[in-house]
Amino acid sequence: WIVGGDGWAYDIGAGGLDHVLATGRNVNVLVLDTEVYSNTGGQMSKSTPLGAVAKFAAAGKTVPKKDLALQAISYGSVYVAKVA
């Protein structure tokens, strides 16, 4: 299992995550998505939804949330599930 937050999966570690998914290895990945950088006080990230108000986005985020699930399933051998 690989477990990480959204800051890691969508931003800081995105290259590493993409590499693991592209290899087709048998691995489970769990992303805990809070839609902000929780460890550093709630700044917006690529997982923050369009229009959401967060630190450094006081007027609302102006670009949409990155679709990490769509990126993952683009490799074909990846199963994606979302829960709320």
- Domain segments of the chain as ranges: 2-73
pLDDT tens across 43-63, in order?
A: 888 888 898 888 777 888 888
CB contact at 8 A, 59 and 52? no
pLDDT tens across 61-81, in order?
A: 888 999 999 999 998 888 999
Local structure of residue 64 (DSSP, 8 states)? P
Q: pLDDT category, 37, cuts 50, 70, 90?
A: confident
Report the chain's mean pLDDT, rounded to a whole number: 88
| Residues in a beta bridge with 60 | none
C-alpha span between 59 and 61 (Å, rounded): 7
